[in-house]
Amino acid sequence: MKALEELKNAYGLSEEDIEYAIEKAKGIILGFAMEYKAIRVLEDMNFKNIKYVDLPTHDIEAEKCGQKYYIEVKASSKSPTKEYSAHKLAMIAMLNGIHLTLVMKPSPHLFNTEEILSVPKRVLFNFFKYAYQGDTESLKALLSDEKTREILLSYERIIKAYSGKYSEKSLSIIQSLF
């Protein structure tokens, strides 16, 4: 481990110091290692132009069959989209391409993010997507369901926070929600 030897020599750290630091940073190290491994996994899946980007919405950008993909890498064994906040979903919906979630444990598996979202998160994600794109027919259909309206009303604050990004066509429909 060349990097550890460099740290020990440059800062006069002991084995015990290094062991303590590694124990504290184990999760961070695992995350970066899995992101690095994910690039090889995607290459094996025939993705091209793979770039590590480390953005709030995704870790990697890649292409396959002329389509752009935004890929979030998950190293945890928890639900892959559990940590996807309403803000993150709003940002993902702005992306011009398909968002995927690459779960690395127990073995690599690639999911279309939209398909693995819980029902409330999927409703919110679709709401944002339709609102940004100006897809008024899909937006009206989404808002015509009472259960869906209830879900969206629980996200009123976040929906209003992103209203400046919605298409003009969508705004009048959305205003009827509140």
Given a cut of 90, whether residue 23 has pLDDT beyond it is yes
pLDDT of amino acid 77: 73
Query: Comparing C-alpha atoms, which of 89, 92, 165 is closest to residue 134?
Result: 165
pLDDT of amino acid 54: 87
Q: What's the token pair of residue 147?
A: 């259960």
Where helices occur in the chain by DSSP H, the ranges are: 2-11, 15-24, 26-44, 86-94, 113-116, 119-133, 136-143, 146-153, 156-161, 168-175
Given a cut of 90, whether residue 176 has pLDDT beyond it is no
Q: What is the band of 126 on the pLDDT scale with cuts at 50, 70, 90?
A: very high
pLDDT of amino acid 62: 98
Q: What's the token pair of residue 39?
A: 């690039």
Q: How do residues 131-169 score in pLDDT, each as one tens digit?
A: 999 999 999 999 999 999 999 999 999 999 999 999 988
pTM of the model: 0.85
d(CA 132, CA 122): 15
State mean pLDDT over 49-63. Answer: 95
Sign of CA dihedral 117, 102, 89, 32: positive
Report the length, in residues, of the chain. 178
Quick one: what percent of the chain has pLDDT higher than 70?
Answer: 100
pLDDT of amino acid 132: 96
Q: How does the average pLDDT of the chain come out, rounded?
A: 92
Is residue 99 within 8 A of residue 114, CB to CB? The reply is: yes
Q: What's the token pair of residue 110?
A: 């690639």
pLDDT of amino acid 72: 95
Every domain of the chain and the residues it spans: 2-116, 119-175
CATH number for the domain formed by residue range(s) 2-116: 3.40.1350
d(CA 98, CA 91): 13
